Amino acid sequence: MLEGNGKARKGLILYKSKYGATKKYASWLQEETDFDCIETKRATIKDVAKYDSIILCGGLYASGIAGISFLKKHFSVLRYKKLAVFCVGASPFDQKAFEQVRAHNFKEELQSIPLFYGRGAWHEEAMSFKDRMLCGMLRKAVAKKDPSTFEPWMTALMGAVGQVCDWTDKNELAPLIAYIKAETAL
């Protein structure tokens, strides 16, 4: 994975996508940056370490970012790389929830990694049995609350029930692309 002159390659997009929205963002990001792109399950630290910049794209599931474990596991090797994370969730952006996701996923050495967000998709029929059950339990718990007290994610959840929704938007990548360009002089 080295260029002909023996230098490290410019950038790599690692992604972990369960239902396709994160993969779509990773593909769009690849188009915009010309970075290489690979699923985290196919990535080896030996190959990833050959890149100058590494962007992890991962879906949000119960506040956890899919694929973040790769960065945690290999941070000692990646710590001097230009790193960023783009997470994808079904809820509209909410600063408070975003800060909670950051606090939950970026402990200790990961705290300095920039985090970006894009809205994903919702399609219950495409979900695994386990995910449908968890979403159903969450929906039942939220339904017991007074709608006037709903947080943005609760409103989004209740509005998406029974619907097929795709909120992915290439424009959501703009802040990340600006960051990449500033860091890598694309």
- Contact between residue 92 and residue 119 where contact means Cβ atoms under 8 Å apart: yes
Mean pLDDT (10-residue bins), the chain, 186 residues: 46 92 96 94 95 94 89 93 94 88 91 94 78 78 85 76 84 94 69
The answer to whether 96 and 126 have CB atoms below 8 angstroms apart is no
Rounded to whole angstroms, how far apart are CA atoms 27 and 23? 6
Q: Provide the sign of the torsion angle of the four alpha carbons 18, 19, 25, 28, taken in this order.
A: positive
Q: What is the pLDDT of residue 184?
A: 64
